[in-house]
Amino acid sequence: MAKTDLFQSPDYYQIDELLTDEHKLVRNSVREWVKREVSPIIEEYAQRAEFPKHLIKGLAEIGAFGPYIPQEYGGGGLDQISYGLIMQEIERGDSGIRSTASVQSSLVMYPIYTYGSDEQRKKYLPKLATGEWMGCFGLTEPNFGSNPGGMLTNIKDKGDHVVLNGSKMWISNAPFADIAVVWAKDEEGVIRGLIVERGMKGFSTPETHGKWSLRASATGELVFDNVKVPKENILPNVKGLKGPLGCLNSARYGIAWGAIGAAMDCYDTALRYSKERIQFGKPIGAFQLQQKKLAEMITEITKAQLLAWRLGVLKNENRATPQQISMAKRNNVNMALEITRDARQMLGGMGITGEYPIMRHMMNLESVITYEGTHDIHLLITGMDVTGLNAFGG
């Protein structure tokens, strides 16, 4: 049975006053859309491990696909804080749906806009913005996750086209994507970006089954077996690892906001439950141990909101460093995961059921804390930034 979404957003430090009227209109519209379209169905899709494909049109309409891409290419022309707020609200619904939006915006539209030719921008971006075409992003390989520079996927120059071989793993949207932005090494070992289209001979996207996380999102592999890719599909304006890393910066920034949404949903659920659930003759919210959990949750959410907002201001001014983005992604996702665990305990047995969103968020965040740079890798990025010393392997 469809449930009514009673979510009320916490704003302990009046952070709304830091937002413009347009930011709030964007956020409130997405929040309303999530309440109407996502909350009533998401549990069922997650239980069935199925991506609710019918949401794509609505996601496009609310501006989840390329909100910061200029309007002339079909994007929203919004700023980075609006982008962050959209991600926050969608992830308040479900991290898997937010992942679909993140991939489309930051890992597909962003590289085509930033590294693509004008022909590529005009060909792909408007259709990606409307959701008519969906995209995915191929960087991670079975043996190269935290160390993407070691990738084996490669292209060989054959005159007017290149031949692509290799495979990519853990690719969100892969099973239904119309195009894939794929990173591969050329014959000199330089990483290049290519747009691979569904239907190209030798390109397949087997689905990954049996996930306990992001169950309402479709994940798969990208397999390239002598795929002929025309040279006009190569992104002309970037070479090397900085190409995919630029995309990840944009996506990680969105995740730093998104995680706040998942945390807010768990906090709000636990807070309401703590006032309604009676034990020993009083609401459990009246007990110190439960108050400690709630007080720490709202403290951490407030800190994360301020971190994300400040990062958004820096990003709007093109001043956010990748290291600053790493810090926010790492802190906020971990914060959200801790909150899901405390909230789950507060709900006791009810916390493990699909009646409440907490366990779903918790399982989702286990992916979020791993993808787009693991929790540990982001720590090393901060460590290297403050010491100047490289603690990565190799």
Partner 1 sequence: MKVLVCISSVPDTTTKINFTPDNKSFVTQGVQFIINPYDEIALTRALELTEKDGGTVTVINVGDATTEPVIRKALAVGATDAVRVNAGPRDAFFVARQIAGYASNQNFDLILCGRESIDYNGAQVPAMIAELLGIPSVSVCKKLEIAGKTAIAEREIEGGKEIVECPLPMVVSASEGMAEPRIPNMRGIMSARTKPLAVVEPVDTPKNIEVIIYDKPKPRSEVKLIAPDKVEELVDLLHTQARVI
Q: Which is nearer to partner 1, 19 or 218 (CB)?
A: 19
Q: Give the integer Cα–Cα distance in Å for 54 and 56.
A: 6
Minimum distance from CB of 147 to partner 1 (Å)?
38
Residues classed as catalytic: 372
- Per-residue burial over 193-203, b = 16 or more CB atoms within 10 Å of its CB, e = otherwise: bbbbbeebeeb
Beta strand 135-138 with 179-185: parallel, antiparallel or unpaired?
parallel
Residue range at the interface with partner 1 (CB under 8 A); choices 32-40, 211-219, 316-324, 378-386:
32-40
Under rule CB under 8 A, residue 254 binds partner 1: no
Q: Which is nearer to partner 1, 65 or 203 (CB)?
A: 65
Q: Which is nearer to partner 1, 76 or 357 (CB)?
A: 76
Under rule CB under 8 A, residue 57 binds partner 1: no
Binding mask 134-173 for partner 1 (x = CB under 8 A): ----------------------------------------
Q: What SS3 class is residue 19?
A: coil
Largest CA distance in the chain: 79
Q: What SS3 class is residue 386?
A: helix
Q: Return the amino acid letter for 231.
A: K
Under rule CB under 8 A, residue 26 binds partner 1: yes
* Alpha carbon of residue 2 to chain centroid: 26
Interface residue with partner 1 among 77, 202, 283, 354 (CB under 8 A) is: 77
Q: Give the integer Cα–Cα distance in Å for 288 and 270.
A: 14
Minimum distance from CB of 284 to partner 1 (Å)?
15
Q: In this structure, what token pair is assigned to residue 84?
A: 């962050």
Under rule CB under 8 A, residue 316 binds partner 1: no
Residue range at the interface with partner 1 (CB under 8 A); choices 59-67, 185-193, 221-229, 236-244:
59-67
Interface residue with partner 1 among 39, 51, 68, 76 (CB under 8 A) is: 76
Under rule CB under 8 A, residue 283 binds partner 1: no
Minimum distance from CB of 33 to partner 1 (Å)?
5
Q: Which is nearer to partner 1, 71 or 226 (CB)?
A: 71
Place of tokens 């800190």: 303
Q: What SS3 class is residue 37?
A: helix
Residue 130: CB atoms within 10 A of its CB come to: 15
Q: Give the integer Cα–Cα distance in Å for 147 and 154.
A: 16
Q: Which is nearer to partner 1, 62 or 251 (CB)?
A: 62
Under rule CB under 8 A, residue 319 binds partner 1: no
CA atoms within 13 A on the CB side of 274: 23
Q: Which is nearer to partner 1, 125 or 238 (CB)?
A: 125
Which helix (H) or strand (E) element contains residue 310?
A: helix 288-316
Q: Which is nearer to partner 1, 19 or 139 (CB)?
A: 19
Q: Give the integer Cα–Cα distance in Å for 182 and 355.
A: 39
- The string of DSSP codes covering 228-268 is EEEGGGB-TT--STHHHHHHHHHHHHHHHHHHHHHHHHHHH
Under rule CB under 8 A, residue 62 binds partner 1: yes
Interface residue with partner 1 among 52, 67, 116, 312 (CB under 8 A) is: 67
Interface residue with partner 1 among 47, 48, 50, 61 (CB under 8 A) is: 61
Minimum distance from CB of 34 to partner 1 (Å)?
10
**In the 8-state DSSP scheme, what is residue 70?**
-
Q: Give the integer Cα–Cα distance in Å for 356 and 88.
A: 19
Under rule CB under 8 A, residue 394 binds partner 1: no
Residues that bind partner 1 (CB under 8 A): 8, 14, 16, 21-22, 24-26, 28-29, 32-33, 36, 61-63, 67, 71, 76-78, 281
